[in-house]
Amino acid sequence: MDLQLSGRVAVVTGASKGIGLAVTRTLLAEGARVVASSRRTSPELDALAGPDLVHVAADLMAPDAPGEIVARAAEAFGGLDILVNNAGGPPPGVTLPRGSFLDAGDEEWRAMFEFNLFSAVRAVRAAIPLMLERGGGAIVNVSSGNARQPSPMNVDYSAAKAGLTNLTKVLSAEFGPRGIRVNTVSPGPVRTAWWTDEGGVADMFAAQAGTSRDAVMDELAPGMMNLTTGRLAGPQEVADVIALLASPRSANTTGADFAVDSGFLKEI
Protein backbone atom coordinates (compact mmCIF):
# COMPACT_ATOMS: atom_id res chain seq x y z
CA MET A 1 0.00 0.00 0.00
CA ASP A 2 1.30 3.44 -0.94
CA LEU A 3 0.89 5.60 2.18
CA GLN A 4 1.13 8.78 0.07
CA LEU A 5 3.86 10.20 2.32
CA SER A 6 6.37 11.07 -0.39
CA GLY A 7 7.76 14.56 0.17
CA ARG A 8 5.95 15.12 3.45
CA VAL A 9 7.92 16.48 6.39
CA ALA A 10 7.84 14.71 9.75
CA VAL A 11 9.27 15.22 13.22
CA VAL A 12 9.83 12.10 15.33
CA THR A 13 10.96 12.34 18.96
CA GLY A 14 12.78 9.55 20.75
CA ALA A 15 14.06 8.46 17.35
CA SER A 16 17.37 6.77 18.13
CA LYS A 17 16.00 3.37 19.17
CA GLY A 18 12.91 1.27 19.69
CA ILE A 19 9.58 2.51 18.37
CA GLY A 20 10.96 5.92 17.35
CA LEU A 21 13.72 4.35 15.27
CA ALA A 22 11.21 2.04 13.58
CA VAL A 23 8.92 5.00 12.82
CA THR A 24 11.81 7.01 11.38
CA ARG A 25 12.91 4.11 9.19
CA THR A 26 9.35 3.51 7.97
CA LEU A 27 8.63 7.15 7.14
CA LEU A 28 11.89 7.44 5.22
CA ALA A 29 11.09 4.27 3.29
CA GLU A 30 7.74 5.82 2.35
CA GLY A 31 9.47 8.90 0.91
CA ALA A 32 9.01 11.32 3.81
CA ARG A 33 11.65 13.76 5.00
CA VAL A 34 12.30 13.33 8.71
CA VAL A 35 13.71 15.40 11.54
CA ALA A 36 14.64 12.75 14.10
CA SER A 37 15.22 13.90 17.66
CA SER A 38 16.92 12.12 20.54
CA ARG A 39 19.39 12.96 23.28
CA ARG A 40 22.09 11.29 21.24
CA THR A 41 22.24 9.37 18.00
CA SER A 42 22.76 5.62 17.65
CA PRO A 43 24.48 3.35 15.12
CA GLU A 44 21.06 2.25 13.87
CA LEU A 45 19.92 5.84 13.32
CA ASP A 46 23.25 6.78 11.74
CA ALA A 47 22.74 3.96 9.24
CA LEU A 48 19.69 5.83 7.91
CA ALA A 49 21.69 8.98 7.13
CA GLY A 50 20.87 10.75 3.88
CA PRO A 51 19.46 13.97 2.42
CA ASP A 52 15.98 13.25 3.80
CA LEU A 53 17.07 12.79 7.42
CA VAL A 54 18.17 15.44 9.91
CA HIS A 55 19.08 14.45 13.46
CA VAL A 56 18.58 16.99 16.25
CA ALA A 57 20.28 16.19 19.54
CA ALA A 58 17.94 17.50 22.23
CA ASP A 59 16.89 16.90 25.82
CA LEU A 60 13.10 17.14 25.95
CA MET A 61 13.28 17.97 29.64
CA ALA A 62 14.41 21.44 28.53
CA PRO A 63 11.31 23.61 27.95
CA ASP A 64 12.67 25.16 24.75
CA ALA A 65 13.75 21.88 23.14
CA PRO A 66 10.46 20.76 21.53
CA GLY A 67 9.99 24.11 19.82
CA GLU A 68 13.57 24.10 18.58
CA ILE A 69 13.13 20.63 17.08
CA VAL A 70 9.97 21.68 15.23
CA ALA A 71 11.66 24.87 14.02
CA ARG A 72 14.48 22.76 12.59
CA ALA A 73 11.96 20.97 10.36
CA ALA A 74 10.82 24.28 8.91
CA GLU A 75 14.42 25.38 8.45
CA ALA A 76 15.60 22.15 6.82
CA PHE A 77 12.57 21.17 4.77
CA GLY A 78 10.33 24.23 4.57
CA GLY A 79 7.46 23.23 6.83
CA LEU A 80 5.85 20.43 8.78
CA ASP A 81 3.16 17.86 7.96
CA ILE A 82 3.58 15.15 10.60
CA LEU A 83 4.49 15.16 14.29
CA VAL A 84 5.09 11.91 16.15
CA ASN A 85 5.43 12.48 19.89
CA ASN A 86 7.09 9.17 20.65
CA ALA A 87 9.62 10.03 23.38
CA GLY A 88 8.50 8.73 26.75
CA GLY A 89 9.19 6.38 29.62
CA PRO A 90 11.42 7.08 32.60
CA PRO A 91 13.12 10.49 32.39
CA PRO A 92 16.82 10.84 33.25
CA GLY A 93 17.52 9.79 36.82
CA VAL A 94 14.22 7.93 37.27
CA THR A 95 14.04 4.15 37.43
CA LEU A 96 10.95 2.12 36.59
CA PRO A 97 9.10 -0.03 37.48
CA ARG A 98 7.83 1.24 40.80
CA GLY A 99 5.93 -0.96 43.21
CA SER A 100 3.70 1.55 44.94
CA PHE A 101 2.25 5.05 44.79
CA LEU A 102 4.39 5.85 47.84
CA ASP A 103 7.62 5.18 45.94
CA ALA A 104 7.57 8.52 44.05
CA GLY A 105 7.81 12.00 45.56
CA ASP A 106 7.04 15.38 44.03
CA GLU A 107 10.28 15.64 42.06
CA GLU A 108 9.76 12.25 40.44
CA TRP A 109 6.20 13.20 39.53
CA ARG A 110 7.33 16.51 38.04
CA ALA A 111 10.05 14.83 35.99
CA MET A 112 7.66 12.17 34.73
CA PHE A 113 5.11 14.75 33.58
CA GLU A 114 7.78 16.98 32.02
CA PHE A 115 9.03 14.14 29.84
CA ASN A 116 5.84 12.24 29.05
CA LEU A 117 3.27 15.04 28.82
CA PHE A 118 4.68 18.56 28.81
CA SER A 119 7.27 17.86 26.10
CA ALA A 120 4.43 16.72 23.83
CA VAL A 121 2.34 19.77 24.73
CA ARG A 122 5.22 22.03 23.75
CA ALA A 123 5.91 20.18 20.52
CA VAL A 124 2.25 20.38 19.51
CA ARG A 125 2.12 24.07 20.37
CA ALA A 126 5.04 24.70 18.02
CA ALA A 127 3.79 22.35 15.29
CA ILE A 128 0.21 23.53 14.87
CA PRO A 129 0.99 26.94 13.28
CA LEU A 130 3.29 25.27 10.73
CA MET A 131 0.67 22.67 9.88
CA LEU A 132 -2.03 25.30 9.50
CA GLU A 133 0.20 27.13 7.00
CA ARG A 134 0.17 23.98 4.85
CA GLY A 135 -3.57 23.38 5.19
CA GLY A 136 -3.39 20.63 7.78
CA GLY A 137 -1.32 17.78 9.09
CA ALA A 138 -1.23 14.71 11.30
CA ILE A 139 -0.15 14.37 14.93
CA VAL A 140 0.34 10.95 16.51
CA ASN A 141 0.91 10.83 20.25
CA VAL A 142 2.40 7.63 21.62
CA SER A 143 0.63 6.93 24.89
CA SER A 144 0.42 3.60 26.75
CA GLY A 145 -2.01 0.87 27.64
CA ASN A 146 -1.49 1.99 31.23
CA ALA A 147 -3.28 5.25 30.41
CA ARG A 148 -6.51 3.24 30.50
CA GLN A 149 -5.46 0.36 32.74
CA PRO A 150 -4.82 1.78 36.24
CA SER A 151 -2.11 0.04 38.23
CA PRO A 152 -0.14 0.75 41.41
CA MET A 153 2.99 0.06 39.37
CA ASN A 154 4.38 3.17 37.66
CA VAL A 155 1.41 5.28 38.76
CA ASP A 156 3.07 8.59 37.84
CA TYR A 157 3.92 7.33 34.35
CA SER A 158 0.38 6.04 33.86
CA ALA A 159 -1.12 9.34 34.99
CA ALA A 160 1.07 11.32 32.59
CA LYS A 161 0.09 9.05 29.70
CA ALA A 162 -3.59 9.35 30.65
CA GLY A 163 -3.14 13.10 30.33
CA LEU A 164 -1.61 12.63 26.88
CA THR A 165 -4.54 10.50 25.75
CA ASN A 166 -6.98 13.13 27.04
CA LEU A 167 -5.01 15.91 25.34
CA THR A 168 -5.24 14.05 22.04
CA LYS A 169 -9.05 14.08 22.20
CA VAL A 170 -9.11 17.81 22.95
CA LEU A 171 -6.70 18.69 20.13
CA SER A 172 -8.63 16.55 17.68
CA ALA A 173 -11.89 18.33 18.44
CA GLU A 174 -10.40 21.81 18.21
CA PHE A 175 -8.16 21.45 15.18
CA GLY A 176 -9.84 18.69 13.18
CA PRO A 177 -12.10 21.20 11.39
CA ARG A 178 -8.94 23.02 10.31
CA GLY A 179 -7.34 19.96 8.76
CA ILE A 180 -5.15 18.65 11.59
CA ARG A 181 -5.83 15.07 12.61
CA VAL A 182 -4.68 13.98 16.08
CA ASN A 183 -4.63 10.35 17.17
CA THR A 184 -3.09 8.21 19.87
CA VAL A 185 -1.29 4.90 19.63
CA SER A 186 -1.15 3.04 22.94
CA PRO A 187 1.40 0.23 23.04
CA GLY A 188 1.48 -2.48 25.64
CA PRO A 189 4.79 -4.15 26.46
CA VAL A 190 7.18 -3.80 23.51
CA ARG A 191 10.59 -5.39 23.00
CA THR A 192 12.51 -2.14 23.35
CA ALA A 193 15.67 -1.31 25.28
CA TRP A 194 13.60 -0.63 28.41
CA TRP A 195 12.98 -4.39 28.50
CA THR A 196 15.96 -5.83 26.66
CA ASP A 197 18.99 -3.82 27.84
CA GLU A 198 21.30 -5.20 30.48
CA GLY A 199 19.90 -4.06 33.81
CA GLY A 200 16.51 -3.38 32.23
CA VAL A 201 13.09 -4.53 33.29
CA ALA A 202 13.56 -8.08 32.05
CA ASP A 203 16.72 -8.44 34.14
CA MET A 204 14.96 -7.01 37.20
CA PHE A 205 12.09 -9.48 36.91
CA ALA A 206 14.49 -12.31 36.12
CA ALA A 207 16.44 -11.65 39.33
CA GLN A 208 13.23 -11.66 41.36
CA ALA A 209 11.90 -14.84 39.74
CA GLY A 210 15.20 -16.71 39.54
CA THR A 211 15.00 -17.13 35.78
CA SER A 212 16.59 -15.71 32.62
CA ARG A 213 15.96 -12.44 30.76
CA ASP A 214 14.67 -14.33 27.72
CA ALA A 215 12.33 -16.43 29.85
CA VAL A 216 10.85 -13.25 31.30
CA MET A 217 10.13 -11.75 27.89
CA ASP A 218 9.05 -14.99 26.22
CA GLU A 219 6.97 -16.54 29.01
CA LEU A 220 6.78 -14.79 32.37
CA ALA A 221 5.79 -11.27 31.28
CA PRO A 222 3.18 -12.36 28.69
CA GLY A 223 1.64 -14.63 31.32
CA MET A 224 1.66 -12.03 34.09
CA MET A 225 0.07 -9.45 31.80
CA ASN A 226 -2.40 -11.92 30.31
CA LEU A 227 -1.39 -10.98 26.78
CA THR A 228 -3.82 -12.49 24.31
CA THR A 229 -1.19 -13.06 21.62
CA GLY A 230 1.19 -14.60 24.15
CA ARG A 231 4.09 -12.32 23.26
CA LEU A 232 5.45 -8.80 23.56
CA ALA A 233 4.99 -6.61 20.49
CA GLY A 234 7.87 -5.63 18.24
CA PRO A 235 8.69 -1.95 17.62
CA GLN A 236 7.88 -2.27 13.92
CA GLU A 237 4.36 -3.45 14.71
CA VAL A 238 3.73 -0.20 16.55
CA ALA A 239 5.51 1.88 13.91
CA ASP A 240 3.30 0.48 11.15
CA VAL A 241 0.16 1.77 12.89
CA ILE A 242 1.77 5.16 13.52
CA ALA A 243 2.75 5.48 9.85
CA LEU A 244 -0.77 4.62 8.72
CA LEU A 245 -2.25 7.26 11.05
CA ALA A 246 0.24 9.82 9.72
CA SER A 247 -0.82 8.99 6.17
CA PRO A 248 -3.57 10.61 4.08
CA ARG A 249 -4.91 7.05 3.86
CA SER A 250 -6.30 7.78 7.34
CA ALA A 251 -7.84 11.08 6.27
CA ASN A 252 -11.07 10.53 8.21
CA THR A 253 -9.52 9.09 11.37
CA THR A 254 -9.04 11.53 14.22
CA GLY A 255 -9.47 11.54 17.98
CA ALA A 256 -8.95 7.77 18.03
CA ASP A 257 -6.82 5.64 20.34
CA PHE A 258 -5.26 2.56 18.74
CA ALA A 259 -4.06 -0.18 21.11
CA VAL A 260 -1.07 -2.13 19.80
CA ASP A 261 -0.73 -4.11 22.99
CA SER A 262 -0.85 -7.86 22.35
CA GLY A 263 -4.40 -7.88 23.73
CA PHE A 264 -3.39 -6.33 27.06
CA LEU A 265 -6.51 -4.15 27.32
CA LYS A 266 -9.63 -6.26 27.57
CA GLU A 267 -12.17 -3.73 28.78
CA ILE A 268 -14.63 -2.07 26.39
Tell me the catalytic residues: 157
Q: How far apart are the first and last CA of the chain?
A: 30
Write 143-150 long-range contacts (CB < 8 A, 24+): 143/168, 143/184, 143/185, 143/186, 143/257, 144/88, 144/186, 144/187, 144/188, 145/186, 145/187, 145/188, 145/259, 145/261, 145/264, 145/265, 147/186, 148/186, 148/257, 148/265, 148/267, 149/264, 149/265, 149/267
Report the candidate in 58, 186, 25 with the shortest Cα–Cα distance to residue 126.
Answer: 58
Report the candidate in 97, 144, 77, 95 with the shortest Cα–Cα distance to residue 117.
Answer: 144
Q: How far is the C-alpha of 144 from the C-alpha of 88, rounded, in Å?
A: 10
